[in-house]
């Protein structure tokens, strides 16, 4: 089955073009835009990890190593499309237009972090595994029924494909031919469980066969491979061709979250042969003559200033009220939750 789903690649680890079928579509504007967003979300990710270690935000799920997959997919979307992320897809959210201050606020426990900018169809990050797949399918079906050309993308990891929601979402999308893109980032691990221990399927792309759904595997560390396959899927969805399943094969460089220790389940040195997606793009830029030191330096400074301003704005908000977890779920708290709330208040000194 692996042979039926070869990994599509446009540039290799050294930045050389290995598939020239879309070469005419690669221009300086696209390349610089891709580099800007990939460097921007990498810098955001590093800052977020630093803030967590300093106790300035809560537990945080890093996405380092998955920048090409997130940026390549998000840049192929239209302004009015829908984006349904997991807790590890804030890079895609930022690329699609999410507010950076609010993104930091989300990881600082404030409700404002769930609110997208006016006019942007970005759902709050789904922490339960695979639930967003159903939401994306429903939203895209609604757009189809309304007669628009808008589509929805659902992001999810390899672990989500073992959930019932994944199969129900794909089945519904296939039956009703909804304009949905199911975008899997196969980063090798579902928390601590390696891919081969979680399923007997050799690929995730092959799971689309059961639903008569077009599916493809791409090199998730190759921006161009992701971007061009996404464009095909987007066009298919807009033109009434139905859903697509995309498996972006990538690598989670760090821990599942900042509360995790990957040395407990990943052998030392595992993944060291994976070339960083930003380094790969930089190599391509230099090979193609698109590297401009002045432009790159200016972009780095602009990004750093934006991030520092967003952190400052985030920290100007009052600390999140933990009681909100209890006060806005039930009209009357069940006994168990009331006990938890009382225990929390007791820890605060009976406040």
pLDDT digits 0-9 by tens, 285-322:
999 999 999 999 999 999 999 999 999 999 999 988 88
Residue with tokens 């498996």: 247
Instruction: Point out the catalytic residue in the list 37, 102, 256, 280.
Output: 256
Q: How far apart are CA 21 and CA 178, in angstroms?
A: 28
Say what percent of the chain tops pLDDT 90. 90
Confidence of residue 2 (pLDDT cuts 50, 70, 90): confident
- CATH code 3.40.50.970 region(s) in the chain: 2-319
Confidence of residue 327 (pLDDT cuts 50, 70, 90): confident
Instruction: Point out the catalytic residue in the list 42, 252, 280, 283.
Output: 252
pTM here is 0.95
265 counts as catalytic: yes
Which helix (DSSP H) or strand (DSSP E) does residue 152 occupy? strand 152-157
What residues pair up with 84 in beta bridges, in sequence order? Answer: 154
Q: How far apart are CA 158 and CA 256, in angstroms?
A: 13
87 counts as catalytic: no
Residue 245 · residue 207 · CB < 8 Å: yes
pLDDT digits 0-9 by tens, 267-287:
888 888 999 999 999 999 999
CB-based contacts of 152: which residues, under 8 Å, 6+ apart?
81, 82, 83, 84, 136, 137, 139, 140, 143, 178, 179, 180, 181
| Helices and strands counted in the chain (H then E) | 12, 9
155 counts as catalytic: no
How does DSSP classify residue 20?
Answer: G
Residue 152 · residue 139 · CB < 8 Å: yes
pLDDT of residue 346: 87
Q: Which residues of 241-278 are buried (b: 16+ CB within 10 A; e: fewer)?
A: ebbbbbbbbbbbbbbbebebebeeebeeeeeeebebbb
pLDDT digits 0-9 by tens, 215-227:
999 999 999 999 9
Give me the torsion for CA of 281, 287, 290, 294, rounded to 10°.
90
Pairing of strands 215-219, 244-249: parallel
pLDDT of residue 1: 67
CATH says 2-319 is which class?
A: alpha beta
Instruction: Point out the catalytic residue in the list 265, 266, 317, 344.
Output: 265
Q: How far apart are CA 337 and CA 107, in angstroms?
A: 23
Q: How far apart are CA 247 and CA 69, in angstroms?
A: 10
Which spans in the chain are helix H? 28-53, 67-74, 90-96, 100-106, 131-146, 164-176, 195-198, 223-238, 277-288, 293-315, 324-327, 335-347
pLDDT of residue 350: 54
344 burial level (CB within 10 Å; 0-12, 13-18, 19+): middle
Residue 220 · residue 167 · CB < 8 Å: no
User: Of 72-76, 160-164, 187-191, 225-229, which range is least confident?
Assistant: 187-191
For residues 239-253, average pLDDT: 97
pLDDT of residue 4: 85
pLDDT of residue 230: 98
Residue 91 · residue 63 · CB < 8 Å: yes
- Count Cβ atoms below 10 Å from residue 349 Cβ, excluding itself: 6
Pairing of strands 152-157, 82-84: parallel
For residues 230-258, average pLDDT: 97
């Amino acid at each position: 089955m692996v042979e039926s789903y070869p990994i599509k690649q446009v540039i290799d680890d050294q930045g050389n073009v290995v598939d020239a079928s879309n070469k005419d579509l690669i221009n300086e504007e696209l390349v610089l835009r891709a580099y800007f967003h990939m460097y921007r979300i990498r810098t955001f990710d590093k800052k977020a990890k630093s803030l967590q270690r300093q106790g300035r935000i809560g537990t945080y799920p890093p996405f380092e190593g998955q920048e090409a997959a997130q940026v390549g997919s998000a840049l192929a979307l239209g302004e009015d499309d829908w984006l349904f992320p997991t807790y590890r897809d804030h890079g895609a959210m930022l690329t699609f237009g999410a507010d950076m201050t609010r993104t930091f606020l989300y990881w600082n426990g404030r409700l404002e972090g769930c609110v997208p900018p006016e006019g942007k169809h970005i759902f709050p990050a789904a922490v339960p595994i695979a639930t967003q797949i159903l939401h994306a399918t429903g939203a895209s079906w609604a757009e189809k029924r309304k007669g628009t050309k808008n589509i929805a993308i659902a992001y999810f990891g390899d672990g989500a494909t073992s959930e019932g929601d994944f199969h129900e979402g794909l089945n519904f999308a296939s039956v009703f031919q909804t304009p949905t893109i199911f975008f899997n980032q196969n980063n090798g691990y579902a928390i601590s469980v390696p891919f081969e221990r979680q399923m007997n399927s050799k690929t995730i792309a092959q799971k689309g066969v059961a639903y008569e759904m077009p599916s493809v595997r791409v090199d998730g560390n190759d921006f161009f491979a992701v971007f061009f396959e996404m464009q095909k899927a987007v066009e298919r969805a807009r033109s009434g061709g139905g859903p697509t399943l995309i498996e972006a094969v990538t690598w989670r460089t760090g821990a599942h979250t900042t509360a995790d220790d990957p040395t407990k389940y990943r052998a030392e040195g595992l993944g060291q042969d994976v070339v960083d997606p930003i380094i790969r793009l930089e190599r391509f830029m230099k090979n193609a003559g698109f590297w401009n030191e002045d432009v790159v330096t200016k972009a780095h400074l602009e990004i750093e200033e934006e991030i520092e301003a967003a952190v400052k704005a985030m920290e100007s908000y009052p600390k999140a009220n933990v009681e909100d977890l209890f006060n806005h779920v039930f009209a009357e708290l069940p006994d168990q939750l009331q006990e938890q709330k009382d225990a929390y208040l007791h820890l605060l000194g009976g406040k």
